[in-house]
């Protein structure tokens, strides 16, 4: 049975022992309710490291007051089985009190990259992500950490944080994993009713449209965004939060496709906010 550590001290002791034995450590931070997207990160970590730690922690600090912290899906038993079957060695599953002790008041914050895209509609989100990920990095002290490209802004932010704060960790970005019909895998897909699940296909179809336009040589960001907007608006259950084209490194909007870009969107299907994106070099 895979070990589930609930205390910081247990993780530290185990990782220290591995390092003393000269072993490398890969790390996959998650909020649990694991799916094939997370599994692809764990698989990659297992391939590239001697030992792999997966954290499962629904981080209260990255949820806004009206967001889905309480209803966020949880299933530790299923998650442990998936981690074990995929070859992970240790799960870190702390209680919030273990991560945020009484009187907690230190944060990791970032400007610029966090001010666009999801940062606009989720103002406290990235401060919560940066804070918890740096805490987890200090606890696990991995050689490599694995993040999905589905959360492209989060991945860019973590890479920037590691660079800015001289953290000696290699950040590995892994491709988006999709359902057979194209919908990007997400723990939040479980919120969708059957009718909404069908409607949610509009996201990946719109990303495909953007990819076609980019590949055919369209260089005007406004033209691409306007066609994407029309496509999303053709789905009655969909409501756009944002559709944007930004510089892939800085997350700042650009008018012309003249560098590596991220084309990203967040769309509500009913009450569920879903994201999807594509990168173009
Ligand atoms: O991507 C996630 O699941 C979370 O934002 C992360 C990186 C585990 C931090 O809580």
- Which of 264, 266, 244 lies closest to 255 in space, CA to CA? 244
Q: How much is the pLDDT for 221?
A: 98
Domain ranges across the chain: 3-174, 187-276
Do residues 42 and 85 touch, judged by C-beta distance below 8 A? Answer: no
Determine what percent of the chain is predicted with pLDDT higher than 90.
100
pLDDT tens digits, residue range 194-227?
A: 999 999 999 999 999 999 999 999 999 999 999 9
277 lines ligand 1 (CB under 6 A): no
Ligand 1, atom 8: nearest CA belongs to which residue?
A: 30
30 lines ligand 1 (CB under 6 A): yes
149 lines ligand 1 (CB under 6 A): no
The crossing angle, in degrees rounded to 10, of helices 152-164 and 125-140 is 60
| Spatial separation of the C-alpha atoms in residues 114 and 271, rounded to whole Å | 24
Pocket probe for ligand 1: among 28, 31, 34, 64, the residue whose CB has the most ligand atoms within 8 Å is: 31
| Spatial separation of the C-alpha atoms in residues 12 and 246, rounded to whole Å | 39
Do residues 32 and 74 touch, judged by C-beta distance below 8 A? Answer: yes
User: What is the value of pTM for the model shown?
Assistant: 0.97
Q: CATH fold of 187-276, please?
A: 3.30.1300
pLDDT tens digits, residue range 76-118?
A: 999 999 999 999 999 999 999 999 999 999 999 999 999 999 9
CB atoms within 10 A of CB 262: 23
The Å distance, Cα 199 to ligand 1 centre, comes to 26
- The tally of CA atoms less than 13 A away on the side-chain side of residue 23 is 15
Rounded to 5°, angle at Cα 30 from 61 and 65: 25
Output the DSSP codes for 224-274: HHHHHHHHHHTSTTEEEEEEEEEETTT--B-SB--S-EEEEEEEEETTEEE
- Which of 280, 257, 276 lies closest to 153 in space, CA to CA? 276
What are the helix and strand counts (H, E) for the chain?
10, 9
Q: How much is the pLDDT for 116?
A: 94
The CATH architecture assigned to 3-174 reads 3-Layer(aba) Sandwich (3.40)
The beta strands (E) that lie in the chain are given as: 3-5, 25-30, 51-56, 90-92, 144-148, 170-174, 238-247, 261-269, 272-280
CB atoms within 10 A of CB 70: 8
The Å distance, Cα 62 to ligand 1 centre, comes to 9
pLDDT tens digits, residue range 116-171?
A: 999 999 999 999 999 999 999 999 999 999 999 999 999 999 999 999 999 999 99
Find the mean pLDDT for residues 171-182.
Answer: 98
- 125 is an active site residue: no
- Which of 148, 1, 4, 177 lies closest to 76 in space, CA to CA? 4
Q: How much is the pLDDT for 247?
A: 98
The Å distance, Cα 31 to ligand 1 centre, comes to 6
């Amino acid at each position: 049975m895979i070990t589930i550590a609930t205390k910081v001290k247990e993780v530290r002791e185990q990782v220290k022992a591995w390092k003393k034995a000269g072993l490398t450590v890969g790390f996959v931070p998650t909020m649990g309710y694991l799916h094939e997207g997370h599994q692809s990160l764990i698989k990659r970590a297992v391939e590239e490291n001697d030992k792999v730690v997966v954290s499962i922690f629904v981080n209260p600090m990255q949820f806004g007051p009206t967001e889905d912290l309480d209803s966020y899906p949880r299933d530790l038993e299923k998650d442990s089985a998936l981690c074990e079957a995929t070859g992970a060695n240790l799960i870190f599953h702390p209680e919030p009190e273990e991560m945020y002790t009484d009187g907690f008041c230190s944060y990791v914050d970032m400007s610029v990259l966090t001010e666009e895209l999801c940062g606009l509609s989720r103002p406290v989100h990235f401060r919560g992500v940066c804070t918890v990920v740096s805490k987890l990095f200090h606890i696990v002290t991995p050689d490599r950490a694995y993040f999905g490209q589905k959360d492209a802004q989060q991945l860019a932010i973590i890479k920037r944080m590691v660079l800015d704060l001289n953290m000696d960790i290699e950040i590995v970005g892994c491709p988006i994993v999709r359902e057979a019909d194209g919908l990007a895998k997400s723990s939040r897909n479980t919120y969708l009713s059957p009718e909404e699940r069908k409607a949610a296909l509009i996201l990946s179809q719109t990303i495909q449209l953007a990819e076609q336009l980019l590949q055919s040589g369209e260089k005007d960001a406004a033209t691409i965004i306007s066609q994407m907007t029309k496509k999303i608006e053709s789905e009655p259950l969909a409501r756009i939060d944002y559709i944007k084209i930004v510089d892939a490194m800085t997350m700042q909007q650009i008018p012309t496709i003249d560098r590596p870009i991220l084309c990203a969107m967040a769309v509500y299907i009913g009450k569920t906010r879903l994201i999807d994106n594509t990168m173009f070099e």
